[in-house]
Amino acid sequence: MIDGLIQRLRVRDDVSDEEEEALRGLISETEEFPARVTVLRREKLLDRSVLLLEGLMCRSKDLPDGQRQITALHVPGDFLDLHGFTLKRLDHDVMSLAPSKVAYAPHDRLIRLTEQYPHLTRLLWLTTNLDAAMHREWVLSLGQRSGAQRSAALFCEIHTRLSVVGKAINRRFEFPLNQTELGECLGLTVVHTNRVLRELREIGLVTFRRGGVQIHDLEALETFAEFDPAYLYLEKLSR
Task: Please tell me the number of Cα atoms within 13 Å of 91 on its side-chain side.
Answer: 4
Residue 64 sits in the same domain as residue 124: yes
In angstroms, how far is the first alpha carbon of the chain from the final one?
Answer: 26
Residue 157 sits in the same domain as residue 181: yes
Positive or negative, the CA dihedral 173, 174, 177, 179 is positive
**pLDDT tens profile 39-75:** 999 999 999 999 999 999 999 999 999 899 999 999 9
**pLDDT tens profile 148-207:** 999 999 999 999 999 999 999 999 999 999 999 999 999 999 999 999 999 999 999 999
Mean pLDDT score of the chain, rounded to an integer?
Answer: 96
Give the domain-ending residue among 86, 102, 128. 128
Looking at the predicted structure, is the pLDDT value of residue 237 above 80? no
**Structure confidence at residue 210 (pLDDT):** 79
Residue 163 sits in the same domain as residue 221: yes
Residue 161 sits in the same domain as residue 189: yes
Domain interval for residue 91: 3-128
For residue 29, give the H/E element and its range.
strand 29-33
Residue 116 sits in the same domain as residue 180: no
Residue 17 sits in the same domain as residue 117: yes
Residue 104 sits in the same domain as residue 149: no
**pLDDT tens profile 135-165:** 999 999 999 999 999 999 999 999 999 999 9
Residue 145 sits in the same domain as residue 214: yes
Residue from 179, 127, 135 nearest 157 by CA: 135
Residues 6+ apart with CB under 8 A from 143: none
**Where residue 165 sits, what CATH number does that domain have?**
2.60.120.10
Residue 140 sits in the same domain as residue 158: yes
Cβ(51)–Cβ(2) under 8 Å?
yes
Mean pLDDT value of segment 25-41: 97
Looking at the predicted structure, is the pLDDT value of residue 239 above 80? no
